[in-house]
Structure 1
Amino acid sequence: MIFESTKSLKQRLADGEVLFGTFFKFNTPQLAEMLGYAGMDFIIVDGEHGDCSYGEMQNVVRAANSVGMSAVVRVPNALDQNIFHAGDMGAQGIQVPNLHTAEEAAEAVRKMRYAPRGTRGFAMTTRAGQYTFCPKDAFLKYTNEELLSVIMVENTQMAQQVPELCKNPDIDLLFIGTGDMSQSVGVLGQPLHENVQSVVEQVVRDAKAGGKPVGIIAGTLEEARHYVELGIQYIAYGAEINMIASKFREVVADLDSLRPAKR
């Protein structure tokens, strides 16, 4: 979906902005609206670990856009139908996990773009085409030039290929998946382990040298601050489920403190 009066995520990254968002896993458009009203720059609608159908994800994207917040869809893998549906639902970006080579990444981003840059099936009857109300040339230009293509770097194979990934002009952002990277380096479930963080630093160095912005997930404010200082521009602060669970724990702990002491 084209925001005619706002800059795209890709433009904002090119301007050097640091953007904050969160992963979004629930089929709850109202929560997406609330995050937009709160001031988040983007959400990543999680088609990999969430439980939403295509239609449900589109409603979350629609709710985010209704309050001026961008929505990126993380597809479960690079299959054609997943990427095509994410594009057609009018997301401002598509994020692809579970890749292992620069060639796989190149094929994934081709599926996001129209000819001559890609192989995406053309349709103007979708939400992305504003149900035929968007001028065709504007729609094609937005898709091929402004739709944010995000490739996840979440294993050591991909980390080694960052210089090659940076040569691809259709890859806009490299997103480091520290959870899966912890598994790849043999310290599963420890994203802050020094072995994981050394890979993070290497990916950031190589991406900077290759002119690509980097994204990452941060679980705490301290992590987010560290990553910003490292030069990472696109920070996903946990997920909405983490924020909700944290608040629930806080409220229940406060209520428990009011219970009379047992005799």
Structure 2
Amino acid sequence: MKNATLLTAAAVTAGALLAVTVSDAGAQPGQDAEPFRAAEFEFGSRFEIPDGQAPEIWNPAKRKLVAGGPMIGGTVRAVDPRTYCAMAGAGYDFIWVEMQHEAISWEQVARMWRTCPGPAAPGARVAYADEREIQHATDMGALVIVVPTVDSVEEAQAAVDWTYFPPLGRRSFGGGQGPREMWTGVPGGYRQTWNDNVVLILMIETLEGVESAREIARIPGVTALFAASGDLGNFSGFGEGEAEYEALITEVADAAIEAGIHACAPLRWANRPSFTCFQAGTETANILRGAQAEIGQAEERFRGTGGGAPAERSGTAALLAELTAQCGAITYEADCYAAVESAASGVRNAPAAEQVQVVRRLREIMGANPNQAARIGEIATGAGLAVNR
């Protein structure tokens, strides 16, 4: 019995020791510590600018905005680097490559930007606010990001998240990014100063976007709201000059101003005091305008020699050139309609021969654009020029 008792005691002791050993082996360092919480983590100082220094604004578009504007962007829809370079060197502050409405690849865009990274800052209107779309733009070298059809605070926050590096956003940073080839030598370093240099423009184009505009404008990182002239007409059923339409535009501009950011619009609204940044015409429109101007100057010089047909009034020639530029291949209906109204009003009291020239051109435009023909006719008639046969 005594031996059995001793054996039992030994077994209990061994079991207890084994349990302690197993328990100790399974314990992990820091097991009693609080679980990690990302929201409570304090971002480090690795990317901070040294004390006493301010980040330099090396983006020419951002520099223009900081100075009060106007920041003007030319629009490119083609993929030819020579065409892009001509636009980039034409005097614009940035170039708006059209990625929403064109079948352009990011590889083609990257080629153009790397061929001519300046003097105009490279920019793009992406198709929507997601990581792939925006990071493709930034990684290829864009300094201006335009996001269309932003309807909600959630969409706006997503645009901020994928545009900015932490801690403001969630943009990834890694080797082989396009900017390394283009912006390696920027003052202060690309990663360190990116958040201070990028320009993020959110387009308000729908009624839902207008409703959310004041909240969207207050999100940190939003540089500007763009009052989209064409689509606000498309989504509202009203046009420029009508009270309902103008109220929408005013609401967007007021939302931006109230939040202390910028309001953007088409370049033809440069005379509206609320706006400080603008989208200008396309490379096609510029080619048309430039050709018209060059031909007009040549004809004027030729007539100075005593030859040629009688000169038409220069004002009419300019109106015809603008009609051709804005309506020859309609990119933005609102710009075409504005050119129609300007042309019709401009020749209302002109000689009959000049009116005939404008009417003929308007009819050509209406024939080539049947979907817009009725509205073009209404605008011209309302301005005092009958174009319908």
TM tier relative to shorter chain: 0.7 to 0.9
Structure 1 residues 138 and 213, CA, compared in 2 at 3 Å: closer, same or farther? same
Spell out, residue by residue over 1:16-37, the C-alpha distance to the aligned partner (whole angstroms, 9 max, x if none).
Answer: 1212222211102212222233
Alignment partner of 2:76 out of 10, 24, 37: 24
Structure 1 residues 132 and 193, CA, compared in 2 at 3 Å: closer, same or farther? closer
Match of 1:179 in 2: 230
* Structure with greater proportional strand content: 1
Give the secondary structure class of the aligned counterpart of 1:124: coil
Alignment partner of 1:113 out of 161, 164, 174: 164
Identity of aligned pairs, percent? 22
Match of 1:40 in 2: 92
Q: Which has the larger radius of gyration?
A: 2
Match of 2:207 in 1: 156
Structure 1 residues 131 and 35, CA, compared in 2 at 3 Å: closer, same or farther? closer
Q: CA deviation at 1:93?
A: 1.3
Q: Distance in 2 between matches of 1:39 and 1:57?
A: 20
Higher relative contact order (CA 8 A, sep 6+): 1
Give the secondary structure class of the aligned counterpart of 2:225: strand
Pairwise CA RMSD: 2.9
Match of 2:246 in 1: 197
Structure 1 residues 225 and 121, CA, compared in 2 at 3 Å: closer, same or farther? closer
Q: CA deviation at 1:249?
A: 7.0
**Gap regions ≥5 residues in structure 2:** 1-55, 300-307, 310-389
**Conserved? CA contact 1:73–1:86, under 8 Å:** yes
The residue type paired with residue 204 of structure 1 is A
TM-score, length basis structure 2: 0.57
Q: Distance in 1 between matches of 2:161 and 2:270?
A: 34
Alignment partner of 2:265 out of 216, 224, 233: 216
Spell out, residue by residue over 1:60-79, the C-alpha distance to the aligned partner (whole angstroms, 9 max, x if none).
Answer: 2234424x111211111113
Q: Distance in 2 between matches of 1:14 and 1:252?
A: 39
Alignment partner of 1:90 out of 114, 136, 141: 141
* Structure with greater proportional helix content: 2
Give the secondary structure class of the aligned counterpart of 1:158: helix
Q: Distance in 1 between matches of 2:284 and 2:182?
A: 32
Q: CA deviation at 1:146?
A: 1.1
**Gap regions ≥5 residues in structure 1:** 259-263
1:129 aligns with 2:180: yes
Match of 1:57 in 2: 109
Structure 1 residues 185 and 132, CA, compared in 2 at 3 Å: closer, same or farther? closer
The residue type paired with residue 172 of structure 1 is T
Match of 2:304 in 1: none
Q: CA deviation at 1:145?
A: 2.0
Alignment partner of 1:226 out of 271, 276, 294: 271
Q: Distance in 2 between matches of 1:61 and 1:156?
A: 34
Spell out, residue by residue over 1:91-145, the C-alpha distance to the aligned partner (whole angstroms, 9 max, x if none).
Answer: 111111132101211111101112222222222312212389569x722223222
